[in-house]
Amino acid sequence: MRLIATFAILMLAFGGMAVRLVVLQIVESPGYALIASKQRESTRPFPARRGSIYDRNGKSLAISVDLQTVYADPALVTDARREARRLAPLLGTPAASLQRVLEGDPQSRFEYVARQIDPALARRIENLKLAGVFARPEPKRLYPNESVASTILGFVGTDGEGLSGIENQYEGILRGRAGFMTLEQDPSGRPLPQTDFRYEPPVQGRSLYLTIDKDIQNYAEMELENAIARYDANAASAVIMRPSTGEILGMANVPDFDPNRFGDFSQSDFRNRAVTDVYEPGSAYKIVTVAGAIEDDVVSPRSSFVVPDELPFEDRVFHDSHAHDTETMSVTEIIEQSSNVGTIKIGLALGGERLDHYVRRFGFGSATGLDFPGESPGIVLDRDQWSGVTIATTPIGQGIAVTTLQMASAYAALANGGVWVEPKLVSATVDGDGSLKRSSAPATRRVVSGRTARQMTEMLTGVVRRGTGMLARVPGYQVAGKTGTAQKPVAGGGYGNSYVASFAGFAPAADPEIVTIVVLDDPDPIWGGVTAAPVFRAISEYALRRLGIAPTADAQRAAEQMQSEQDLVPEPHD
Q: Cα–Cα distance between 337 and 221 in angstroms, integer?
A: 30
Torsion-angle region of residue 510: left (phi > 0), alpha (psi -120 to 50) or beta? alpha
Residue type at 346? I
Estimate the share of the chain in helix, then strand, then coil, as percent rounded to the nearest 5.
Answer: 40, 25, 35
By DSSP bridging, strand 133-142 and strand 60-72 are: antiparallel
* H-only helix segments in 232-296: 273-276, 286-295
**What residues form DSSP beta bridges with 182?**
43, 198
| Closest C-alpha among 515, 512, 541 to residue 274 | 515
By DSSP bridging, strand 480-489 and strand 444-446 are: unpaired
Known catalytic membership, residue 29: no
**3-state SS track over 399-440:** CCEECHHHHHHHHHHHHCCCEEECCECEEEEECCCCCEEECC
Torsion-angle region of residue 558: left (phi > 0), alpha (psi -120 to 50) or beta? alpha
Q: Cα–Cα distance between 526 and 520 in angstroms, integer?
A: 9
Q: How many CB atoms lie within 10 A of CB 97?
A: 12
Burial of 553 by CB count in 10 Å (0-12 exposed, 13-18 middle, 19+ buried)?
A: middle
Q: How large is the C-alpha radius of gyration of the chain?
A: 33
Quick check: 517 and 250 in contact, CB under 8 A? no
Strand (E) or helix (H) holding 122? helix 119-127
* H-only helix segments in 185-244: 214-231
Q: Cα–Cα distance between 564 and 569 in angstroms, integer?
A: 9
Quick check: 205 and 62 in contact, CB under 8 A? no
Residues 6 or more apart whose CB falls under 8 angstroms from that of 556 comprise none
Helices (H) and strands (E) in the chain, counts: 20, 21
Strand (E) or helix (H) holding 134? strand 133-142
Question: Which residue among the candidates 52, 283, 321, 502 is catalytic per the annotation?
Answer: 283
Q: Cα–Cα distance between 285 and 293 in angstroms, integer?
A: 14
Residues 6 or more apart whose CB falls under 8 angstroms from that of 49 comprise 64, 66, 139, 176, 202, 204, 205
Q: Cα–Cα distance between 252 and 249 in angstroms, integer?
A: 10
Strands (E) across 367-465 are located at 419-421, 426-430, 436-438, 444-446
Strand (E) or helix (H) holding 345? helix 340-350
3 state SS of 499: strand
| Closest C-alpha among 234, 165, 247 to residue 427 | 247
Q: Cα 420–421–427 angle (5° rounding)?
A: 170
**What residues form DSSP beta bridges with 252?**
238
Positions marked active-site = 283
